[in-house]
Amino acid sequence: MKKIIRVWDLPIRLFHWLLVLGIILSFVTVKIGGNAMEFHARVGYCVLTLVVFRICWGLIGSRHARFIHFVPSPKGLLNYLSGKAKASLGHNPLGALSVLGLLFSIGLQAVTGLFANDDIAFEGPLAKHVSNGTVELLTSIHHQNEKVLIILIVVHLCAIFYYQKFKGENLIKPMLLGDKEIDPSEEAKYLPADLGQASKDGAWQRGLAMLLLSLIAVIVGYLITN
């Protein structure tokens, strides 16, 4: 019988899929342009809220969501690349770097969007607080980072396909249901500490996540309206 371990708590799963939706809507609305730019901006505010939440949850959230449990040290990364490291229930070292890269790029895109100005249909809510030179710089970063973000997303999708096709590991199912199934014959591949410590995902954790997300949303809303 397979061992069922809760890896991704509900807050992380909701964050992940809401972020996916937000990124898709962002790309669609910016390509449409015109009146859709107002909706593009609102989606950007939501994405920024989600990214800030993920950073906070990476500090106080469940075990496998915390940065301290998956961000690799240089030695850990080398051990993984050389095949000496044990398998991880959550993000492996390369996956961890991918997550950090995506969070940084998405966060940069959301923040620079607050100051961006396309001189046609949109001006970020904070653009009026900085010089024209700063607006031009941040607008340029916003446009160039879009290409970087697309590359990171493609790499992320390719990694998911690779693990599914060549390693027989479904990375999408645990992010949907939260649990990872471990065959008894594969338990030796994992650290005993990982197998013995599932992520907590009870009402307390979910309530805390909702409170935290609401607080961040209020702060972001205040900043963009004042």
Residue 117, beta-bridge partner list = 123
Confidence at 207, pLDDT banded by 50, 70, 90? very high
Q: What is the pLDDT of residues 107-157, one digit of tens each?
A: 999 999 999 987 777 889 999 999 999 999 999 999 999 999 999 999 999
* DSSP H/E element including 6: strand 3-6
Residue 76 — pLDDT band, cuts 50, 70, 90?
Answer: confident
3-class DSSP assignment, residue 12: helix
Name the pLDDT band for 168 (thresholds 50, 70, 90).
confident
41-70 CB burial, b ≥16 within 10 A, e <16: bebbbbbbbbbbbbeebbeebbbbbbbebb
d(CA 143, CA 124): 14
pLDDT at 14: 97
- pLDDT of 181 reads 86
Percent of the chain with pLDDT over 70: 98
Q: At what angle do helices 10-32 and 93-113 cross, to 10 degrees?
A: 50
pLDDT of 7: 93
Question: In whole angstroms, what is the distance from residue 189 CA to residue 204 CA?
Answer: 32
pLDDT of residue 122: 82
Q: Band of the pLDDT at 53, cuts 50, 70, 90? A: very high
Kindly report whether the global pTM for this prediction surpasses the value 0.85.
yes
Q: What is the CATH number of the domain that holds 9?
A: 1.20.950.20
Distance CA 114, CA 125 (A): 6
What pLDDT, on a 0 to 100 scale, did the predictor assign at position 84? 80
Asked if residue 176 lies in contact with residue 16, where contact means CB atoms within 8 angstroms, the answer is no
What is the per-residue burial (b if ≥16 Cβ within 10 Å, else e) of 147-183?
Answer: eebeebbeebeeebeebeeeeeeebeebbeebbbebe
Q: How many domains does the chain have?
A: 1
Q: Which domain holds residue 212?
A: 3-225
